[in-house]
Amino acid sequence: MLRLSKITKDYKVADQTVKALKGLNISFRKSEFVSVLGPSGCGKTTLLNIIGGLDKYTSGDLFINGKSTKEFKDADWDVYRNHRIGFIFQSYNLIPHQTILSNVELALTIAGIGKNERTKRAKQALDKVGLKNQYGKKPNQLSGGQCQRVAIARALVNEPEILLADEPTGALDTTTSEQIMQLIKEISKDRLVIMVTHNPDIAEEYSTRIIRLLDGEVVDDNNPFTTEDEKAEVAALRKEANDNLKEKEIELTQKIEKLQNQLKSNEITDKKSQIEAKNQLKLLKKELKKNNAKFEKDGTVKASNIAGESKKPRRGKGSHEKAKMSFWTAFKLSVQSLFTKKGRTILTSIAGAIGIIGVSLVLSISCGVRTYINDMQNDMLSGNPITISQTATDLSAMLNSATFTEKAEVIKKAGIVNVDSVIEYLVSRSDQADTFTISNTITKDYVDFVKKVPSEHVASLYLNQGLDVTNNIYTSFFEEGATEGENISLSAIKTIYTSVLKETKYAQYASFVTSLNEIFMQAPTDADYIMSQYNILSGDIATKENEVMIVVGRDRELTDLVLAQLGYYTQDEFMNIVWRETDDERYDASLDKNEFSFEELMGKEFVYYPNNTVFTRTGVEATPFTYTPSSDGFGEGLKLKVVGILEPKEETSYGCLQSGFFYTQALVDHILEENLDSEIATYLSALPDKSITSGFSQTGASGITYLYSYKYNGETHQSVGFVGSANAMASLMMGFFGGVSLDYYTITAQQVGGTDVPYSISIYPLDFEHKDFVRDYLDKWNSEETLEINGREVAASEREDITYTDNISIIISMVNSMIDIVTYALIGFTALSLVVSCVMIAIITYVSVVERTKEIGIIRSLGGRKRDVGYLFNAETFIIGLGSGLIGIGVTYLLSAIANAIVSSVSMISRIA
């Protein structure tokens, strides 16, 4: 039952207060058809909105089933509208983009009813108003009368106690109006119907009660609901409720007794049926207990269970009465709404995608470049390990040094030409270059310390002894026109080719031969690490002291200079290459040799001889030792055989081995064992700088010398050669500038195996992340921390600082910094379009709110919360944003694919975006 007590409603219009309702006192029966008549502006619609909870009264009180609504919150009013009230509007207020079934279901959706139950009840409601089997039609496919029937079905689907109708026939013709009024009159038999109308004839014909309003006050009520009437109705309801509960109690008791008897008499023999019967019995007892709880102690029904005296709407957890639209429901409604404006939605999404395309494409390319660099970094680690060397160049200091183009301010004078002092510049550069050179004292303690670097961060660790084995390894060499080879050392072959080239008009090329100091190199000890980067083309990997392996380039190539110095070319074949490349008339095509078979490469034999065999003490101060370039009369040496040929794997760009010939750690150990106490090693180790510089002076040759002979143009030449290494960079520079004279060579105790302390240590981290751990570990040596090495504590004062070289990290760090700067700058620019997109979507959302005010009103009238309305537009914004994102990312993928295709076609980079 519904009662209004002294209800007033005031509206603020400018500076004035308009009193729409002035202290109304009206009570309504549980079921009756009430028509509210009156002129426009008398307060009819305001009264209807207050009863329906769409508007709030200024003062007074509204009693719903005997309970005051003064303390009602917004959520309580939402539940009240959803479960107690049904609205019928003059203009139907159906949502145009939904089917009539969905329109009717909306109230049930807000009430939280499940999909199956919701559809079932909505169809039943449509069937009752004569719209059976038309569930899939849209409102624009129906007549006005049919639309109003849908509105009535929607109002009734939640089985409300009160039906509010605002001019339900105002937009209908006479015949249709009569049908609708008959339907509403039929509905009023079991619920309260309050209808606002301007038509007194309809009110007189169909209503059971007519209330007339004028200027916000009741001026007439032809069938008022008095206090005595209310008491009588409550008593009747109490009796009806009491009788119903008694009947149910009897019915439940009989069912329980019947089941109990069946179980006692063993009428139910099947075990499964017995279990089912027992479960049913429990349910019946539980239902009976629940039914009896609705009685007072005196056997009368409790007031809370009498229709007309229920408590205020229940809500919250565990409540059956709620009004809440899920975000998913709002999402579906928004999708349907957006489909009615497909063109605008698509254009908005495309416009919003522009900023996303800009930012994501910048990030895509930045990420691609970083990924490429990271892959390249990890690949480059094998070719650029962390290195600790006795001497090295500090690249970091060089990069941070002053610019090489600084100049003093020059004053220009008329008639004067200033002198630019290149000598001063070179001297200053030379002094500065000294600061870039690192000198480390590598001790056994330090070597032991490095060997203890945590293995989980290191792929391989390599100790390079810094040996020059070209003086000790001999092989067969064919001079000009010779049919039999002579066994001479690799260093002698290099000297011969240098001398032969100096005899030609192409003398400048001689320096290139001399610059190739490392033609026979020491391989890392870790065979597994090598095999992770290289494939075996033939044979196997070298591991023993008498085994050598060849590493070819990515295209399976070895340089002609290396092959020539290792005796694979005869002198005639090598010089023929020079004639060919320089278009010399002496070129003979029949001598061309552009490829070698695996058998040819692996069939050549090399022999190693110890220092005391190849170096002879003279007792002369200027030339303390002589070197024997030919092995005639040496006797047995250690025969070295080529056992394998390796090539880099497809994915290896920077391997740990360069192209060339490699000997094993086992051979290193053999050389150290034989040569540590050799005469030349002992002699060199005793010198202050542990080295001898050889060359020509005014008094003749000095240092470690040897006589060698070579043939050129049919003539035999004999010269003095020197043992040692020339400066490779100086050799190259002299070659470029036409110089052919290299007068000075240096040989050190390290090169002849005079020390077992390595010349350099190379550490290969697993990847760049693990490299940081390795660097942190190495930094401990230079810290103040006391370290334990081989069970002995070594204090900081006992250690000399060691500087390691990690050039690749410096370079990559610079590259990454540049990428960061460019990426941030581009994102900053492209993000502006994102801001514009966001503002545009906000404007479109606002326009959508304005366009959908009717839909908002419908949802609110059906009990939807303000938050539910918010869900609608949040969902719509989300959909447009999601559409923009999908378009943006999709276009980015497309553009990335195009960019990758273009870049891969002009470079070796397969994926830049």
pLDDT interval class at 488 (50, 70, 90): very high
Q: Taking residues 161-177, report their average pLDDT.
A: 86
Whether 516 shows a pLDDT value over 60: the answer reads: no
Helix/strand/coil percent split, the chain, to 5: 45, 20, 35
pLDDT interval class at 739 (50, 70, 90): very low
- % of the chain surpassing 70 pLDDT: 88
Instruction: Name the DSSP class of 554.
Output: T
* DSSP secondary structure letters along 569-621: S-HHHHHHHHHHHTT-TT--GGG------HHHHHH-EEEE--HHHHEEE---S
Position 889 scores a pLDDT of 92
Whether 880 shows a pLDDT value over 90: the answer reads: no
Which amino acid belongs to residue 679? E
Neighbours of 288 (CB within 10 A): 17
Dist. CA 472–CA 747, nearest whole Å: 13
The answer to whether 440 and 390 have CB atoms below 8 angstroms apart is: yes
pLDDT interval class at 372 (50, 70, 90): confident
The dihedral formed by the CA atoms of 254, 257, 258 and 261, expressed in degrees to the nearest 10: -160
Dist. CA 641–CA 643, nearest whole Å: 6
Instruction: Name the DSSP class of 656.
Output: S
Sort strands 162-166 and 85-89 into parallel, antiparallel or unpaired: parallel
Give pLDDT tens digits for 650-667: 878 778 888 899 999 999
Position 404 scores a pLDDT of 46
Give pLDDT tens digits for 810-860: 777 777 788 888 888 888 887 888 888 888 888 888 888 888 788 888 888
Position 418 scores a pLDDT of 65
Q: What is the pTM of this model?
A: 0.56
Instruction: Kindly list the distances between the CA atom of residue 258 and the CA atoms of 249, 252, 291, 585, in Å, as whole numbers in the listed order.
Output: 14, 10, 19, 126
**Tokens 């023999």 belong to which residue?**
269
Nearest to 868 by CA among 121, 332, 461: 332
Whether 61 shows a pLDDT value over 80: the answer reads: yes
End-to-end CA distance of the chain: 71
What kind and span of H or E run contains 760?
strand 760-765
Phi-psi region of 266 (alpha: psi -120 to 50; beta: other; left: phi over 0): left
- % of the chain surpassing 90 pLDDT: 32
Instruction: Kindly list the distances between the CA atom of residue 741 and the CA atoms of 510, 562, 735, in Å, as whole numbers in the listed order.
Output: 9, 21, 10
What token pair was written down for 63?
């009693």
Give the chain's mean pLDDT.
Answer: 84
pLDDT interval class at 393 (50, 70, 90): low
Choice among 213-222, 370-379, 741-750 with the minimum mean pLDDT? 370-379
More confident residue, 376 or 670: 670
Position 679 scores a pLDDT of 95
More confident residue, 735 or 198: 198
Q: Which of 399-413, 552-566, 663-677 has the highest mean pLDDT?
A: 663-677
Axis-axis angle for helices 866-906, 807-851 (nearest 10)? 140
Position 579 scores a pLDDT of 87
SS in 3 state form for 358-395? Answer: HHHHHHHHHHHHHHHHHHHHHHHHCCCCEEEECEEECH
pLDDT interval class at 400 (50, 70, 90): low
What kind and span of H or E run contains 23?
strand 16-28
Sort strands 615-617 and 660-663 into parallel, antiparallel or unpaired: unpaired
Dist. CA 690–CA 752, nearest whole Å: 11
What kind and span of H or E run contains 852?
none
Q: Taking residues 462-487, report their average pLDDT.
A: 92
pLDDT interval class at 725 (50, 70, 90): confident
pLDDT interval class at 412 (50, 70, 90): low
Position 318 scores a pLDDT of 40
Dist. CA 356–CA 364, nearest whole Å: 11
Nearest to 681 by CA among 609, 618, 624, 752: 752
Give pLDDT tens digits for 257-308: 888 888 888 888 788 888 888 888 888 888 888 888 777 766 676 666 665 4
pLDDT interval class at 735 (50, 70, 90): very low
The answer to whether 76 and 115 have CB atoms below 8 angstroms apart is: no
Which amino acid belongs to residue 365? I
Per-residue b/e over 421-455, b at no fewer than 16 CB within 10 Å? eeeeeeeeeeeeeeeeebebebeebbbebbeebee
Q: Taking residues 416-431, report their average pLDDT.
A: 63
pLDDT interval class at 314 (50, 70, 90): very low
Choice among 366-375, 407-416, 630-639, 728-737 with the minimum mean pLDDT? 728-737
Nearest to 471 by CA among 136, 887, 752: 752
Sort strands 192-196 and 162-166 into parallel, antiparallel or unpaired: parallel
The answer to whether 530 and 759 have CB atoms below 8 angstroms apart is: no
Asked whether the CA dihedral 869, 874, 879, 880 is positive or negative, the reply is positive
pLDDT interval class at 740 (50, 70, 90): very low
Nearest to 571 by CA among 651, 481, 445, 449: 481
* DSSP secondary structure letters along 474-498: EEEE--TT-SS-EEEEHHHHHHHHH
The dihedral formed by the CA atoms of 153, 204, 235 and 82, expressed in degrees to the nearest 10: 30
Position 666 scores a pLDDT of 95
Nearest to 796 by CA among 445, 387, 391, 392: 445
Position 220 scores a pLDDT of 93
Instruction: Kindly list the distances between the CA atom of residue 570 and the CA atoms of 508, 531, 564, 578, 678, in Å, as whole numbers in the listed order.
Output: 21, 33, 7, 13, 33
Give pLDDT tens digits for 672-684: 999 999 999 999 9
pLDDT interval class at 474 (50, 70, 90): very high
Distance from chain centroid for Cα 479:
64
Position 687 scores a pLDDT of 93
Dist. CA 372–CA 379, nearest whole Å: 10
Position 449 scores a pLDDT of 94
Q: Which of 82-91, 102-111, 497-506, 616-625 has the highest mean pLDDT?
A: 616-625
Whether 744 shows a pLDDT value over 80: the answer reads: no
The answer to whether 613 and 510 have CB atoms below 8 angstroms apart is: no
More confident residue, 698 or 658: 658
Instruction: Kindly list the distances between the CA atom of residue 198 and the CA atoms of 34, 170, 195, 417, 593, in Å, as whole numbers in the listed order.
Output: 13, 9, 10, 111, 114
Whether 498 shows a pLDDT value over 80: the answer reads: yes
Q: Which of 167-176, 382-391, 594-603 has the highest mean pLDDT?
A: 594-603
Give pLDDT tens digits for 625-636: 999 999 998 989
Position 310 scores a pLDDT of 44
Whether 316 shows a pLDDT value over 80: the answer reads: no
Choice among 320-324, 504-508, 585-589, 636-640 with the minimum mean pLDDT? 320-324
Give pLDDT tens digits for 772-800: 899 999 999 999 999 999 889 999 999 99
Dist. CA 122–CA 107, nearest whole Å: 10
Sort strands 67-68 and 16-28 into parallel, antiparallel or unpaired: unpaired
The answer to whether 542 and 758 have CB atoms below 8 angstroms apart is: no
pLDDT interval class at 505 (50, 70, 90): confident
Nearest to 11 by CA among 37, 46, 45, 38: 46
